[in-house]
Amino acid sequence: MADVAIKVEGGVKHKILDDVKKLLPEGNLSLCLTCGLCSSGCPATGLDGMDPRKFLRMLVLGMDKEVLESDWPWMCTMCQRCVYVCPMKIDIPQMIFNIRAARPRDERPKGIRDSCDVAVNSESASAMGTPVEDFKFVVEDVLEEYREAQPEFADMEAPIDKVGAEFFLNQNSREPMTEPDEMVPLWKILHLAGVDWTYGSKAWAAENYCLFLADNENWERLVTAKANMADELKCKTYLNTE
């Protein structure tokens, strides 16, 4: 069983806490009631013997070194559940983001770093590096298969590069590449609701690992590529399914 006790060693400094106060003037960590609501709904609670309340306590106690060395901040999904339930509205994921950004880029988790780098160098913005032609082929192939197998959806569309569509839809690249049938339920909903939508042949991938890497520059680069594609197609609304 993991050792979950907080051990305070060495001199107490509050650099992270002071930095957070500058960034989040409303986020007074001293307001924490230690109620544990954040930990109760957090999917990362218990991993590495840590949870959001304990993480916050360590920051308040000035345990910067231990927090910076911990891998737990990389296990947070950034789901925001803790902020939603916190009676004091303490923004734990923002703190986690800042702690991730404090680690040198080449020491951040390789899997997340590689996914960010691959996406930045992919025309599709795909963390799997999915080529544009592969995406088009899979969408067209799956659409044809469902039209034939389910006559009630014989006129369903899955447009790519439809100029002037209302919605520009992004899709996680894992779906066309490894679970293509997973794309279809959303197509059906959009079809039955009469929604005018399109994928882009470029920048269609929804995931953005640069966000999770705390790489602001590349995070923005990917979002900009997707927004530019939506503009190029003259779509009014960017719909990200992630």
* Interface with ligand SF4, residue 36, by CB under 6 A: yes
* Interface with ligand SF4, residue 47, by CB under 6 A: no
Instruction: List C-alpha distances in Å: 61 to 7, 14, 40, 67, 68.
Output: 10, 8, 22, 11, 14
* Interface with ligand SF4, residue 6, by CB under 6 A: no
Least Å distance between CB 130 and ligand SF4?
27
Cβ-based nearer residue to ligand SF4, 86 or 214: 86
Give the residue from 204, 237, 218 showing the smallest Cα distance to 126: 204
CA 201, CA 71: separation in Å to the nearest integer?
Answer: 37
Q: Cβ(102)–Cβ(216) under 8 Å?
A: no
* Interface with ligand SF4, residue 44, by CB under 6 A: yes
From the list 76-84, 116-124, 136-144, 205-213, the region that binds ligand SF4 by CB under 6 A is 76-84
Least Å distance between CB 16 and ligand SF4?
15
* Interface with ligand SF4, residue 10, by CB under 6 A: no
Q: Cβ(53)–Cβ(90) under 8 Å?
A: no
Cβ-based nearer residue to ligand SF4, 42 or 125: 42
* Interface with ligand SF4, residue 200, by CB under 6 A: no
* Interface with ligand SF4, residue 17, by CB under 6 A: no
Cβ atoms within 10 Å of 157's Cβ, excluding its own: 15
Q: Cβ(56)–Cβ(92) under 8 Å?
A: yes
Cβ-based nearer residue to ligand SF4, 86 or 120: 86
